[in-house]
Structure 1
Amino acid sequence: MTSTPSPAAGAPDELQRRLGVSDAVMIGLGSMIGAGIFASLAPAARAAGSGLLIGLALAAVVAYCNATSSARLAALYPASGGTYVYGRERLGAFWGYLAGWAFIVGKTASCAAMALTVGSYIWPGQAHAIAVAAVMALTAVNYTGVQKSALLTRIVVAVVLAVLAAAAVASLTSGAADATHLDVGADATFSGVLQAAGLLFFAFAGYARIATLGEEVRDPARTIPRAIPIALGITLVVYATVAVSVLLVLGSGSLAAAGAPLTDAAWAADAHWLAPVVRVGAALAALGSLLALILGVSRTTLAMARDHHLPHALAAVHPKFKVPHRAELLVGAVVAAAAATADLRGAIGFSSFGVLAYYAVANASAWTLTPAERRLARTIPVLGLAGCLVLAFALPASSVISGAAVLTVGAAAYGLRRLTNMT
């Protein structure tokens, strides 16, 4: 197997190598620290109870293996498409297709989860209606070609970090904080902790953005492997601090029942002034994530439609706005329907199943690397692959059944297309 060559030095389409380690770390933080932490704490607490923090650590370990495997593959295959390309080149066309299909269905569910997060924090009583309105508005924004700028990304990250810091400080310094709530594992089960890890994996989504910077960083062979653990480490510290602070004031039982955990924590900590700030911060983070997710899913749909893995009509590009308008409208309609009918925990579980399947293919692809291709220590892709499979099947039964069913439908469609082409 040979890798796709990088653009020749000085070629017109070559990206400039301007990013250092700190730049790559910031991009990773911008991709990870977002609305996921606002949405996933309650479902995870429902599964693991006081074992929530153990589940968070397990999710971080699997995320590290996945990101490291993706980084090595991205250096060899700098073309866009991610694991859709890696699986195709290393394992065969079917596995590349399955990875792309898993990405689309998983990230579509992520869109629904982000939309529901917007609704839960803005107007809990009308969460579904607000979620559908958010999807429709952002689909319209994407349709006209307006994209989230780098400056907007930094602003969103700064606001989210400020809100998380304020919520953590208010909770940690509150008289309502009770250290007995941190009796880790007192009411947890092994299966519950694994399920929580699978749900919390949703909060780390985006870390592989670092792995796609191979053509844009200086000395990528050193920069990317250094940036990944730093960004993941910072994110884990932020998430652990927030989780501990919320657990201290709410306890695992109240956290599990919370519709908007950080808002409830602000009220429990007697920081009433902070509650509307948290609502705005969470909604802003979720809207930013939703905008980027709809954009990403529609582009992957475009790529697969061009390869005839999806209806070729979805590959159409609008003559004026220069966007894949049919793909964007379809994605928007599917996400709106999901946001109108699904619950947040179900959307997170389904999303995690699809994305874990996607990274299972990435780890299996990384395992095939040879010493000449500067392969990783074999323990990393093996641990990543095992972790993805274990966490995927530890998710709530409804998420596993629906996720497996959708992947089976995708595989059947692939087989049917192959048979049709052969006749």
Structure 2
Amino acid sequence: MSNPATAAGASGQLRRRLGVLDAVLIGLGSMIGAGIFAALAPAARAAGSGLLIGLALAAVVAYCNATSSARLAARYPASGGTYVYGRERLGDFWGYLAGWGFVVGKTASCAAMALTVGTYVWPGQAHAVAVAAVVALTVVNYAGVQKSALLTRVIVAVVLAVLAAVAVAALTSSASDAARLDVGSDATFGGVLQAAGLLFFAFAGYARIATLGEEVRDPRRTIPRSISIALGITLVVYVLVAVAVLTVLGPNGLGEATAPLSDAVRAAGADWLVPVVRVGAAVAALGSLLALILGVSRTTFAMARDRHLPHGLAVVHPKFQVPHRAELLVGVVVAVLAATVDVRGAIGFSSFGVLAYYAIANASAFTLTPAEGRPPRIIPVLGLAGCLVLAFALPLTSVVSGAAVLALGAGAYGVRRAVAARGA
């Protein structure tokens, strides 16, 4: 009699071992990550006193995307997320384009998160620490998705505790002034849109739940519930933190801050919290990196299974039940980037690519029938429109670089199809 694990590995299928709590924590680990420690300052520079409006707009788009993704994930509970949905609902090309934008953009994001860890832990050796972090988390992922989920629980607990401490210290200090929340003339329409585009990516981690669709128990029930719960918790946390920081720094002070949460606790007279915030930022970046590597490796695995990437990557480890070759390749590429390039200031195309990814998700959800669990039509319509508006509201360099990466992927797809047709 064959070993079930071996059989699963040979057939390229993953084992369903994650429940609702595990999936929620993976989503939280992705969303409540390093973004909240860094994204508030550039968003405040863009929107000024309209920061909270930008946050609300980002949350609306995120909700639409999450709802569309949840309905699609329940219908297609396989690894790959929007790569699978686009392929099944819109055609092979659109699924490929979503997968391409996700893998390329998020690989750069992985390197950025790794460098963030290095910068907080040991600024003088940021690249070395970044590589060590990538290696360590790749080993954790290789040992099985349940090990990753366990580590994510610890990370989420630490980060939530740190953010709670920041909010309490700021809101209860004598420096807190609710008048700093008022919206003034500095809040322009374009600035609010750009801030929403910057803040949107702090919510984007719910995709990790969908990309793990093949490893979730009872996916039709677990995935929608997990995405909704994770997004709801994240929104509450972000609003509390943003309000707390604004009340002590104001929009101008927040926009000028290099480390917004550290500056906020200093302004609140809680200097003792500064090292705690630094630790929290490093741990949050680790959580984001862990979830990003999971998501990128699963999408790589799915694309390799369909031969859009080398088919040898579509192998599941017989013991650990993970796509180990895809994980190792992603780990090696990210480690090389983290060791050689400072990509923190050059991942605008990642932002553009993620919004393109969710635009395809919403377009895919629009094609669902009521019997297939279609959401109210207004949700994918708003989600698609929101993604396109926020994508083109990003800085010009981000739009150009992101469009160039997508065009490169489309060209590679066309060449591969032409070669295949000639061979036939």
- TM-score of the pair, normalised by structure 2: 0.84
1:356 and 1:113, CA in 2 relative to 1: closer, same or farther beyond 3 A?
same
Distance (whole Å) between structure 2 residues aligned to residue 123 and residue 187 of structure 1: 37
- Kindly provide the CA deviation profile for residues 177-196 of structure 1, in whole angstroms up to 9, marking residues without a partner as x: 34443232432221221111
- CA RMSD, Structure 1 to Structure 2 (Å): 3.2
How far has the Cα of 1:287 moved from its partner?
Answer: 0.9
In structure 1, the partner of 2:420 is 421
CA contact 2:80–2:300 (8 Å) conserved in 1: no
Distance (whole Å) between structure 1 residues aligned to residue 155 and residue 22 of structure 2: 16
In structure 1, the partner of 2:398 is 399
Counterpart residue identity of residue 77, structure 1:
Y
Distance (whole Å) between structure 1 residues aligned to residue 323 and residue 369 of structure 2: 38
In structure 2, the partner of 1:257 is 256
Counterpart residue identity of residue 246, structure 1:
V
In structure 1, the partner of 2:341 is 341
- Residue aligned with 2:80, SS: coil
CA contact 1:148–1:292 (8 Å) conserved in 2: no
In structure 2, the partner of 1:189 is 188
CA contact 1:116–1:127 (8 Å) conserved in 2: yes
Distance (whole Å) between structure 2 residues aligned to residue 219 and residue 414 of structure 1: 32
How far has the Cα of 1:132 moved from its partner?
Answer: 4.2
Distance (whole Å) between structure 1 residues aligned to residue 243 and residue 307 of structure 2: 48
Unaligned runs of 5+ in 2: 1-12
Unaligned runs of 5+ in 1: 1-11
| 1:11-410 superposed matches below 5 A | 19=20, 28-124=27-123, 127=126, 130-139=129-138, 141-142=140-141, 148-209=147-208, 216-217=217-218, 220=221, 228-315=227-314, 324=323, 327-336=326-335, 338-339=337-338, 340-342=340-342, 344=344, 346-347=346-347, 349-410=348-409
Distance (whole Å) between structure 2 residues aligned to residue 225 and residue 280 of structure 1: 32
In structure 1, the partner of 2:4 is none
In structure 2, the partner of 1:5 is none
Identity score, percent? 77
How far has the Cα of 1:143 moved from its partner?
Answer: 5.3
- Kindly provide the CA deviation profile for residues 253-309 of structure 1, in whole angstroms up to 9, marking residues without a partner as x: 332333322122222222111111111112112112212212321232232123221
Q: Choose 86-95 or 301-310, whichever is displaced more.
A: 301-310
CA contact 2:114–2:134 (8 Å) conserved in 1: yes
CA contact 1:55–1:196 (8 Å) conserved in 2: yes
CA contact 1:201–1:352 (8 Å) conserved in 2: no
* Total equivalences in the alignment: 407
Distance (whole Å) between structure 2 residues aligned to residue 130 and residue 18 of structure 1: 33
- Kindly provide the CA deviation profile for residues 341-383 of structure 1, in whole angstroms up to 9, marking residues without a partner as x: 3453543x43322211111111101111123323221111100
Q: Choose 285-294 or 205-214, whichever is displaced more.
A: 205-214
How far has the Cα of 1:151 moved from its partner?
Answer: 3.2
- Kindly provide the CA deviation profile for residues 189-233 of structure 1, in whole angstroms up to 9, marking residues without a partner as x: 21221111111111112224555669635982xx76566545433
CA contact 1:84–1:97 (8 Å) conserved in 2: yes
1:378 and 1:387, CA in 2 relative to 1: closer, same or farther beyond 3 A?
same
How far has the Cα of 1:24 moved from its partner?
Answer: 6.6
How far has the Cα of 1:33 moved from its partner?
Answer: 2.3
Distance (whole Å) between structure 1 residues aligned to residue 193 and residue 362 of structure 2: 19
Counterpart residue identity of residue 242, structure 1:
V
1:18 and 1:120, CA in 2 relative to 1: closer, same or farther beyond 3 A?
closer
Distance (whole Å) between structure 1 residues aligned to residue 415 and residue 169 of structure 2: 57
1:386 and 1:137, CA in 2 relative to 1: closer, same or farther beyond 3 A?
same
1:191 and 1:123, CA in 2 relative to 1: closer, same or farther beyond 3 A?
farther
- TM-score of the pair, normalised by structure 1: 0.85
CA contact 2:194–2:394 (8 Å) conserved in 1: yes
